[in-house]
Amino acid sequence: MQPLPDFIRLSYRSDLQTLFLRWTRPATTNEHHEGYRQALQLARQEQVSRWMIDLRSRGLAEVKDLRWVLHEFRTLFIEALPTATRRIAYFTAPYHADILRPRLLELDQNNPLAPAVEIRVFTEELPAQQWLQQG
């Protein structure tokens, strides 16, 4: 795996079977895509399909970048781990959660890939981890 860029921190907790992607600052579109690709590389290597993505230092992505996650990235995630139950927990501030939840519902409406990679938004880490472990 190549050295990680400064805008993300990646780790894998084998005891939780969870990949942690922590954004360290706001990211450009290219950085956004690169961060997800780096995380996917680690996910393939460790065969981990449960992700906790910490958005607190980054804030929300632009709508076009969220669309990319919901469509193009989901396809890559499914191809990388075809037999796994794939879940992404977004961990964010309450204010951002109030924006992100309806945005996800709107953008993911009628998306045939949605059931293959479940995405939920959380404002506390423990409930997010509990939900990830259920899948």
User: What SS3 state is found at 83?
Assistant: coil
Residue 132 scores a pLDDT above 60? yes
In eight-state DSSP terms, residue 129 is: H
Q: Each residue of 2-61: pLDDT tens digit?
A: 678 899 999 999 999 999 999 999 999 999 999 999 999 999 999 999 999 999 999 899
121 burial (CB, 10 Å; 0-12 / 13-18 / 19+) is buried
* pLDDT number for residue 1: 53
Global pTM exceeds 0.85: yes
Average of pLDDT values for 85-99? 97
Burial tier of 93 (Cβ tally within 10 Å: 0-12, 13-18, 19+): middle
Q: Say which range, 3-7, 49-53, 108-112, 119-123, has the weakest mean pLDDT.
A: 3-7
